[in-house]
Structure 1
Amino acid sequence: MNEKDFIKSEKDSFGKVYVDINYAIDNIKPFIDNETLKQRKYYIKLPVLDKYLKLIETSEEQNKNKGVFGFLKKDDSLDLVKNYKSQNSEALMQLENCSKCACLNCNLTCNFNSCLGCRKNSFIAQCDHEKLNITHHNSYYLNLTNNKTGLSERYSVLATLQDCAEDKQYIIIQNMKNADEKFILYYYPGLSEDTYGEITDAEEFDYIAAAYEAI
């Protein structure tokens, strides 16, 4: 990808994220208090995106003004864009996820963990605003002992679910060496270590499985 295409791609992609998030803030601001608003990750991280877009615009303008002999002129604006993105990659990635999150335009007061329980590179894919929400994760992996083999194996986390009515959390994982091997477990987040438990109630298991498959 050449410089011009890179700048256009970044401007289009993150420009949309910026518009979506600002639109959401304008929508919910009249209905929630400042303390709640400040708990929204996209609100506190938005200045990072604002600066990134300004760097992109500067680079775009300098590229337009190069003229026929632009290749003779030194232009470090693209390096500034790429360096800034590299240094703030986690925040920018989170803002991309926030723009897809079910919490983005929500102004309800709820009992879910919401932003306070959000892992990096994740977003709430679905929420019924009362009982259950489902969070999708990218690049979230676990090393767990397979009870069948007794060996430590690596699993990809497909989703976590929170049932605030029953005060329970669940995790759905997939064996990275065997895609057909999936598990639904109780999920107990801890300060230093998370733990997991087997679901023995068939009806409860089916309910969580159906909720995940429905999204």
Structure 2
Amino acid sequence: MSNVTTYALGGVALVVAVLIVVFVVRWNSDHGLKVREDGYGSVHDSAVQALPDSDGAIVLGKSGAHTVDAFEDPLCPSCGSLEHLFGQEISHKIDDGKLAVRYRFVNFLDPKSGSKDYSTRAIAAHECVADTGDGPLFSKFHQLMFTTEQPGENGGDLTNAQIGEIAKKAGAPDSVQQCIAKGTRVDAARIHAEAALAALKSANGGTVETPTVLDGGKRVDVGAADWVTKIAP
């Protein structure tokens, strides 16, 4: 490879890195937001459960908690920003029994992944983790998948084996890692994503946009710094 080509590729990588930084800074600046409850981390309380619903949704929380619906695509950068900014505050509310989140994962960004099916496979991985019923495990895995481990659009992504390693990092047992690595729940995840997408379109008047958070069927302004505390004081 020539030096000219090397420099050109290096320049492209630099531009991409700068664009990512600009996006994050601009998103935060436009919304005037800072990380909420930074340092709290993911869900701690072992009493918190991750329960798969019949339509493929995954409910994270304690029985009787106020429940909201969150529509996310695993490749969605704004979903990553939402988790980065509010994930720890949400985890605290879940631990306190004040809030539960019904995750509805969609996969409309599959075509923008290197493998063309990353979102679907990532949803399948979340389902493998949720099958344990372990709330803190699911919360940690979700946090990693939407923050430090989230791949970018229109680039490379993660293999099932790599996603399995992320689950291991979150504390998942071998059975969960194997479920992810073998793609055991991919077909089911695709069906569940289609159902979630139909529900999202219905709630948004035909528009597909993530993240979308619904409280009692009404859309929540997740650009407001205090939206979590308004829902779960």
Fold-level match, TM-score > 0.5?
Answer: no
Q: Which has the higher contact order (CA 8 A, sep 6+)?
A: 2
More helix by share: 2
More strand by share: 1
Larger-gyration structure (1/2): 1
TM-score interval, normalised by the smaller of the two chains: under 0.3
